[in-house]
């Protein structure tokens, strides 16, 4: 076999392959003249139109009625005239059932037998387009859900900040009052009012955290299968544009930062509420066994805003057993001691709390590095309405009230002070307490 015969054999083999592809392809393949007249169509095209090959040859697409509207055909022809070829052009055609199907058309101009011929390959992408539309819809829904959850989170933050502001206001009121009944009622009311919003905000934050993580897992699953869309670069580009517009990467990072900050704020609110309860001993108006160290700690937490800018607090707790007392009233005494110590420090200093047991008595000391008290003033500090503070800044009832409370507990208060160095208030309480009402009885 010479070279020419061998080349002819190769060409015949290629033509046989092309012929098989032409007849076996599920796509709609046609050959037509430049005026649109069909020269040949494959079985796939016959199945789509419901017409035989013989019925289609010699006719145009307009004549067999596969265009859903003149505008669709005009758009297709207009695009084809620009470059005489199309690749993956999206349009619509009508099948023999009169169903409008979404298709992708690729058209090339070739010379066959000395004649310019248009070779068209049309692929039905209706199902794929429907899947893409559903995917885009789900993606949009997910984005909306993430945005909604973010909005809910911001609203929860605003509610939490508002709760914190209300709590701070109640806290400041509590620090200013020196009447035990008002303190107890205020603390009970605040704890009750705050517990409800704290409960559902905390629950919502936990649920929101789980929902957001689930939503982001779904989005990540779509991103992990991004290669599926690489064959559709235009659609992939649209998806990436949406992700950029909503700043998806930033949302993924920032939303959990907001959640963590909100949860931390909730913990702080719950801690303050618990301190209010411990301080006020809501519902505990009778003598009972109480831990004085716990009362000191809860009182410190309540007055921390008053003290932290004036002094470091150093606790030197010794062994101190629980004693029978009125916890709410003792906490009032502790608060007065701590606030007075802070007010006595001109700039910044130290407050030291020491506890211990001596001769069957519990000892609680409050020492400060403030300006000290003169001997003349010490004689009057427990007198009602006596104060060294400017007018409007003190009622003169704090130490008087503390003194009466300690007396009620069959204890005493001692004061040591040196001008320019500081003061120490020492409280003594009996370990074996006999309540005053029982003594009277």
**CA–CA gap between residue 75 and residue 129 (Å, rounded):** 19
Please say whether the beta carbons of 197 and 163 come within 8 A: yes
Residue ranges matching CATH 3.30.565.10 in the chain: 284-440
pLDDT band at 349 (very low <50, low <70, confident <90, very high): very high
Residue 249 pLDDT level (bands cut at 50, 70, 90): confident
Domain with CATH 3.30.450.20 in the chain: 3-124
Nearest-angstrom CA–CA distance, 351 and 368: 5
The CATH class of the 284-440 domain is alpha beta
Q: pLDDT at position 46, please? A: 92
pLDDT at 175: 45
- pLDDT at site 303: 84
- Report the pLDDT value the prediction gives residue 381, as an integer from 0 to 100: 79
282-298 average pLDDT score: 80
CB of 287 closer than 8 Å to CB of 325: yes
281 φ, ψ (degrees, to nearest 5): 50, 60
Model pLDDT, residue 169: 47
- pLDDT tens per residue across span 157-195: 888 887 876 666 445 434 444 445 455 555 556 666 676
Q: Is 166 exposed, middle or buried (0-12, 13-18, 19+ CB in 10 A)?
A: middle
User: Quick one: pLDDT at residue 440?
Assistant: 40
* pLDDT at residue 161 in the model: 83
* Domain spanning 3-124, CATH class: alpha beta
Mean pLDDT of 95-100: 91
For the chain, the distance separating the N- and C-terminal CA atoms, rounded to the nearest angstrom, is: 135
Mean pLDDT of 387-397: 56
pLDDT of 2 over the 70 cut: no
Distances (CA, A) of 274 to 31, 156, 198, 297: 84, 21, 12, 12
Q: What average pLDDT does this structure show over 14-37?
A: 85
pLDDT of residue 195: 67
- Gyration radius of the chain's alpha carbons: 43
Between residues 190 and 85, the one the model is more confident about? 85
pLDDT, average across residues 212-231:
76
Grade residue 115 by pLDDT with cuts at 50, 70 and 90.
confident
Say which residue, 355 or 231, is predicted with more confidence: 355
CA angle, residues 266, 272, 274, in degrees to nearest 5: 100
CA-CA distance, 427 to 341, in Å (whole number)?
A: 14
Q: How confident is the model at residue 19 (pLDDT cuts 50, 70, 90)?
A: confident
366 or 73, which is more confident:
366
Is the predicted pLDDT of residue 285 greater than 60, yes or no?
Answer: no
Query: Residue 312 has what pLDDT?
Result: 93
**What is the arithmetic mean of pLDDT over 275-302?**
76
Could you tell me the pTM of the whole model? 0.42
- Lowest pLDDT segment from 2-11, 136-145, 248-257: 2-11
Lowest model confidence (mean pLDDT) among 48-57, 144-153, 283-292, 406-415: 283-292
> Is 107 or 394 the better-scoring residue by pLDDT?
107
* Range of weakest confidence among 124-133, 268-277, 313-322: 268-277
Rounded Cα gap, residues 406 and 438, in angstroms:
16
Taking each helix axis from N to C end, the angle separating 327-344 and 180-224, rounded to the nearest 10 degrees, works out to 80
Average pLDDT value over all residues in the chain: 81
pLDDT tens track for 316-346: 999 999 999 888 888 888 988 998 899 889 8
């Amino acid at each position: 076999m010479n070279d020419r015969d061998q080349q002819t054999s190769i060409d015949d083999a290629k033509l046989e392959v092309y012929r098989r592809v032409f007849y076996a392809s599920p796509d709609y393949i046609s050959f037509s003249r430049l005026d649109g007249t069909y020269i040949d169509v494959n079985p796939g095209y016959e199945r789509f139109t419901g017409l035989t090959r013989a019925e289609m040859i010699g006719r145009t697409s307009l004549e067999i009625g596969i265009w859903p509207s003149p505008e669709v055909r005009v758009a297709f022809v207009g695009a084809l005239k620009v470059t005489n070829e199309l690749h993956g052009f999206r349009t619509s055609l009508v099948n023999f059932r009169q169903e409008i199907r979404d298709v992708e058309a690729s058209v090339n101009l070739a010379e066959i037998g000395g004649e310019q011929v248009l070779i068209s390959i049309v692929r039905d992408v209706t199902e794929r387009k429907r899947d893409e539309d559903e995917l885009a819809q789900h993606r949009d829904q997910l984005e909306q859900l993430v945005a909604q959850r973010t909005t809910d989170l911001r609203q929860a933050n605003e509610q939490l900040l508002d709760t914190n502001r209300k709590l701070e206001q109640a806290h400041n009121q509590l620090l200013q009052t020196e009447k035990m009944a008002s303190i107890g009622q205020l603390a009970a009311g605040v704890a009750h009012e705050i517990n409800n919003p704290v409960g559902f905000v905390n629950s919502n934050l936990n649920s929101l955290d789980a929902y957001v993580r689930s939503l982001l897992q779904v989005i990540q699953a779509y991103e992990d299968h991004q290669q599926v869309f690489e064959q559709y670069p235009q659609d992939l580009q649209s998806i990436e544009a949406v992700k950029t517009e909503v700043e998806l990467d930033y949302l993924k990072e920032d939303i959990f930062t907001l959640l963590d900050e909100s949860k931390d704020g909730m913990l702080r609110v719950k801690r303050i509420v618990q301190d209010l309860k411990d301080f006020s001993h809501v519902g505990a108006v009778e003598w009972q066994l109480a831990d004085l160290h716990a009362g000191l700690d809860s009182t410190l937490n309540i007055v921390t805003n008053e003290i932290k800018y004036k002094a470091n607090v150093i606790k030197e707790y010794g062994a101190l057993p629980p004693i029978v007392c009125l916890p709410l009233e003792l906490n009032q005494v502790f608060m007065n001691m701590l606030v007075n110590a802070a007010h006595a420090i001109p700039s910044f200093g130290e407050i030291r709390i020491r506890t211990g047991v001596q001769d069957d008595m519990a000892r609680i000391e409050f020492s400060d590095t403030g300006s000290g008290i003169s001997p003349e003033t010490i004689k009057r500090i427990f007198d009602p309405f006596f104060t060294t503070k400017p007018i409007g800044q003190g009622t003169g009832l704090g130490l008087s009230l503390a003194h009466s409370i300690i007396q009620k507990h069959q204890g005493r208060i001692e004061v040591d002070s040196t001008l320019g160095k500081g003061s120490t208030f020492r409280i003594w309480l009996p370990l074996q307490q006999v309540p005053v009402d029982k003594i009277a009885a």
